[in-house]
Structure 1
């Protein structure tokens, strides 16, 4: 490490344990979990690298369950990206910097009680929801948890499909998720059983029709994560049909990660 660079007490090093590449543009990685590091499902943490002699940090949602002894993250490889161009080259000989305090607005405590929880996401926006659906408390709060994930191509669903299979092998989680967790996976390019963007799926009524479910009502709650434009579009749509944005100090109908929307 550059002698001129020193970590503050708010940061620590975490050793990289595993890296998996799913497509040319998508990969996940696991690190050791710092001692006494706590987080709520849906929160993110700042992770960093030393790049060209400087600390560079980015916000990454935590995919891990709160009870896991490792941390897992899911990332896109941005072409010539100032951060991911280096992050994608990490190995099990590498370490990354992790801020020791997590944060975020995408948490269940910011929602009022309801019957159905819709998790609406695109691409790597699935990351915080993997943590949320791995938490028994999510299923205790809701009768149904409906995860809607849209990607461009079916290959981009590999990571999520893998994580769900792994999660449902855990007897403790399977017990809670059984008959409550519903998955709706859609693509916008290429062939797949379901297709279309989330806003269109909601506006057209196709989502409800495909799920063979009852129409949206006041007992439905929503969490949104994905590209900036997708978040803005879905938030505006939910507002237009009468839903209110929540916060930890003012729980309401929907939340999204404000840190990912400038």
Structure 2
């Protein structure tokens, strides 16, 4: 049974129109990077709640979530109106299987996200477990360049850690130096591997997918052409995923 607590908003950051992160004063129970909590608001007699991945690392004291405001969304439209010092409801226990200790022992890890799906990857990159990989490639697809949440942090990691490649993909505008179009197009063309200077094959790589369900389906199809299949606990594969509907 979920453990609900009243949490105070310590910080509110607007990355782009409707793209917001909240830092919460929440007594989190021990969790694994990549897991999610539930966040909610009491509206009349009903508690409206949704799952949100934790962006903060396992050793950070405060919970952080990232969300897109959905027009007329029963929860996000209300969350977007909250400011620092206001309160909401959140669970202290986190759940989910998109975690690094479920990833097989391979040298290379690929993190492919759209939109707010970048959140759990930020948590993973700041965890001790990420150190076991020889290379980590982060691919973040958004419609516009301004929607690249945590870009400065990811570029900073890339600068100080030669294992890391950060590759944004922008689908709806021209950019200077960034990949354009869909993630699948850049995978199929080989542009991603060229920029990462790393071959994406079934022998030495594992792929984490997080974000839009259409992206996950389409990337899976591209990876299937490389003999890469969904990873299951009792049937090892090459692809783990978390779908954001």
> TM-score, with normalisation over the residues of structure 1?
0.85
- Give the match's secondary structure for 1:29: strand
Decide which of 11, 15, 23 is 2:8's aligned counterpart.
Answer: 15
Partners of 1:187 and 1:200 lie apart in 2 by 12
Aligned partner of 2:153 among 154, 160, 163: 163
Spell out, residue by residue over 1:119-149, the C-alpha distance to the aligned partner (whole angstroms, 9 max, x if none): 001111101101011112212x210010001
- Name the SS for the 1:257 alignment partner: strand
Aligned position for 1:184:
167
Specify which of 20, 44, 67 is matched with residue 27 of structure 1: 20
Match of 1:224 in 2: 209
What is the match of residue 45 of structure 1?
Answer: 37
Q: Could you give the per-residue CA deviations for residues 222-260 of structure 1, whole angstroms, max 9, x where no partner exists? A: 0001111111211233234212322445543110015x3
Three-state SS of the structure 2 residue aligned to 1:22 is strand
Aligned-residue Cα RMSD (Å) equals 2.1
- Cα shift at 1:9: 6.6
Work out whether 1:145 is the aligned partner of 2:136: yes
Structure 2 residue aligned with 1:70, among 62, 87, 90?
62
Check if 1:246 corresponds to 2:231.
yes
Structure 2 unaligned runs (5+)? none
CA contact (8 A) 1:224 1:255 kept: yes
- CA–CA distance in 2 between the matches of 1:95 and 1:211? 42
Contact 2:118–2:140, Cα closer than 8 Å, also in 1: yes
Give the conservation status (yes or no) of the 8 Å contact 2:5–2:26. no
TM-score (norm 2): 0.91
CA distance in 2, matches of 1:198, 1:62: 24
Structure 2 residue aligned with 1:202, among 174, 187, 190? 187
* Alignment length (residue pairs): 243
Contact 2:100 2:129 (8 Å CA) reproduced: no
Q: What is the match of residue 219 of structure 2?
A: 234
Quote the offset at 1:210 in angstroms.
Answer: 2.4
Query: How far apart, in 1, do the equivalents of 2:2 and 2:102 lie?
Result: 29
Match 2:48 to one of 42, 52, 56:
56
Residues 248, 90 of structure 1: CA spacing in aligned structure 2 closer, same or farther, 3 A cutoff? farther
Structure 1 Cα separation of the partners of residues 220 and 36 of structure 2 = 20
Counterpart for residue 5 of structure 1 = none
| Unpaired stretches in structure 1, ≥5 consecutive residues | 1-7
Q: Deviations over 1:169-224 (max 9, x none)?
A: xxxx99xx621111011101112222121111111111112223335241110000
Deviations 1:30-89 (A, max 9, x none): 001315x11111111111111243101101010001000111111101111111110001
Does 1 or 2 have the higher relative contact order (CA < 8 Å, sep 6+)? 1
| Equivalent-residue separation in structure 1 for 2:4 and 2:236 (angstroms) | 31
On the 8 A contact 2:137/2:196 being kept in 1, the answer is no
Q: Confirm or deny: 8 A CA contact 1:110 1:249 kept in the other structure.
A: no
